[in-house]
Chain A
Amino acid sequence: MTKSSPFRHAWILVLIVAVLAPMLVSSYNLNLLGRFLSMAILAVGIVLIWGEAGILTLGQGVFFGLGGYSIAMYLKLSTLPEGSLPDFMEWSGVMALPWFWWPFKSGLLALLAIILVPAVFAGIFAWAMFRRRIAGVYFALITQAVALTFATLLTSQQSTTGGYNGLTGFTEAFGMPLGTDQANRTLYWITLAVLVAVFAGSKWLMATRYGTLLRATRDGENRVRFLGYNTTPYKVVAFMLAAVFASLGGALFTLHAGVVSPAFVGVVPSIEMIVWVAVGGRKSLWGAVAGALIVNFAKDIISSALPEAWLYVLGLIFILVVTYLPNGLAGLVEDLLAKSRRPAAPEGALVEEGK
């Protein structure tokens, strides 16, 4: 987490390059970058919940999906002629708009839903879990079950959710025609701005007493309890923030990709999200952003060359990182910098639960 001196101002350079990216790369690559930066927003949330609070969650796809479907429902409805239904509903013989689509007629409500729906759902879920002290592997498995359920539900309700194919065919967003270079640039900058805000907010949060308490809870929840803290709300807030970040990422991703489907919300994508952060380094915000970009560019290259190979490569990456780089690339960089500055610094703290 400590920024090493030679790179203290490197972020300014990175930010300038990022802002100028639309002038530097092809529109195809800019679109990819926009998608991956959206994923990086989600990755920052994983640093909070997994890196800082030490809670492994395998259900971030659910929140990514909540954001993605919220914006997609609005996009479908906003360009619809009065009185007609989204195309896939008409094909499946649905006569009236289902109730849960109604709020998404309004752009404002859709934007609110992107934040409030995951926050409320994550809040209730996490409170119920953490209050009963469900933690560790059990918690991870339950979140995985939620991801599975959500993806199955979306697939099975073909007539109201678009089923396996999801929602696609968007033409404009908030009055802006989609697919033009102008629109891609604007979306890219919005995504970058959201990422910067989420990143800076998280950095601040990690420096507050709340951040210290979260790390303390990760290190020894019992010790913290016996110092008189009720640890549940601290963890619930972290889970809610991670959910909201995932949802923001999902909404922006959907705008860049032009599609949202169950393929982005289920068990496998939820695990992939953890892999991005494991590769980058779960205790580092920079690491998580880098991890999301590196793994996804790798995925893009590998799966266009060898479509079948990606899942094996992903598994291999995960095993290698967990075995050799417990703190990911960020940990590696930090170790190398520490070594170059002074001989052999002591290894960082291991996470262990106090008795």
Chain B
Amino acid sequence: MTMATATADPILKVDGITVDFDGFKAIDNFSMTLERGQLRVLIGPNGAGKSTLCDTIIGRVHSASGSVTFNGENITNKPEFEIVRRGICRKFQTPGVLPSLTVRDNLAVAAQRDRRWWTAFQIGAKAAEARKVEDILEQIGLTERADTLAADLAHGEKQWLEIGMVVATEADLLLLDEPTAGMGPNETSKTAKLIHSLLGKHAVLVIDHDMTFVEELGGKVTVMHQGKFLKQGSVAEVRADPEVAAVYLGRAKE
């Protein structure tokens, strides 16, 4: 490990997490620390356990052992909506937009701060939240499409919309699971720019396979393999690493 991992005040600490699916260890004693406002890229071959790690952080999958600490608070195995309310939001691997709502309503649902049901009996969003929605529309480049139903968006636009929704929650930590899946090169580099524009305000964990995209993103890379931590370092370091190459080549040979 060449980079210093320990900063004084990490936003997320994953410590020795193990996830067991009926005897199969999808995650095996995995640890990782994310810094506030920074980018981290998590890579690894298919089935490495990347999505499962996200699921565990967000409370969708329960870990058998280990702990997740967010902003100094232990959030291991808490219900998902409580974890989200503390400031972690996740984009799923398959786009999780709400198809029969307009693009704007998708963002409005995400942007709403007060999520208690008994305050929902009002028409229209709060002014500040409405303004935020317009800002995000701008940021994700969907202003023109604001009144389109999410179902009618192109695949790439759906991905951006979902990134926008995640951003709209104002979470401190965003987990983006394969944000470029199914995108062409142009859209991919647009996505990289979008992610860069989020840093500082949000810590972002990006999961991806696509090495060109990872290179374009830059930042620190963590490599996972068969549920275990394999390597961590800059894109160049990880690229040059023989173990990482073996894991990816091994997969290519299959």
Q: A interface vs B, CB < 8 Å?
A: 204-205, 207-210, 212-213, 215-216, 218-220, 222-230, 233-234, 237, 346, 348-352, 354-355
Contact = CB atoms under 8 A, between A and B. Distances in A.
Given A210-B117, A227-B110, A219 B89 contact: no
Given A209-B123, A227-B84, 11 more contacts: A210-B121, A213-B117, A215-B101, A218-B100, A223-B92, A226-B80, A226-B89, A227-B165, A228-B89, A229-B115, A351-B100
Nearest to A213: B120
Given A215-B100, A227-B109, A229-B81, A355 B115 contact: no
Contact of A355 (B96, B110, B125, B150): B96
A212 B107 CA distance: 11
B109 A226 contact: no
A212 B99 contact: no
A346 to B, nearest CB: 5
B94 A354 contact: yes
A354 B90 CA distance: 13
Nearest to A207: B123
B112 interface: yes
Contacts of A218: 100
Nearest to A212: B105
A237 B96 contact: no
Contact of B98 (A225, A230, A350, A354): A354
Given A222-B96, A349-B100, A212 B108 contact: yes
Contacts of A225: 80-81, 84
Contact of A228 (B85, B93, B101, B105): B85
Given A208-B120, A209-B125, A213-B120, A220 B81 contact: no
B144 to A, nearest CB: 16
Contacts of B121: 205, 208-210
B187 interface: no
Nearest to B152: A346
B149 interface: yes
Nearest to B117: A233
Which secondary structure dominates where chain A touches chain B? helix
Interface string B146-174: 00011110000000000001000100000
Contacts of A346: 152
- State which size class the interface on B falls in: 35 or more
A352 B149 CA distance: 14
A209 B130 CA distance: 13
Contacts of A219: 98-101
Nearest to B175: A226
Contacts of A230: 81, 115, 117
Contacts of B108: 209, 212
B149 A226 contact: no
A226 B91 CA distance: 9
A204 B96 CA distance: 27
Contact of B84 (A226, A351, A354): A226
B90 A212 contact: no
A215 B98 contact: yes
9 contacts: A207-B123, A208-B120, A209-B123, A220-B96, A226-B96, A229-B81, A230-B81, A233-B118, A354-B92
A226 to B, nearest CB: 6
B62 to A, nearest CB: 15
B103 interface: no
Q: Which 8 A-B pairs have the closest CB atoms?
A: A349-B100, A228-B84, A349-B151, A354-B96, A210-B120, A219-B98, A223-B96, A233-B117
Contacts of A205: 121
Contacts of A209: 108, 112, 120-125
A207 B165 CA distance: 21
A228 B115 contact: yes
Nearest to A204: B123
A210 B96 CA distance: 20
Nearest to A205: B121
A225 B98 CA distance: 12
Nearest to A1: B100
B70 to A, nearest CB: 14
B97 interface: yes
A348 B109 contact: no
B39 interface: no
B223 interface: no
B89 A213 contact: no
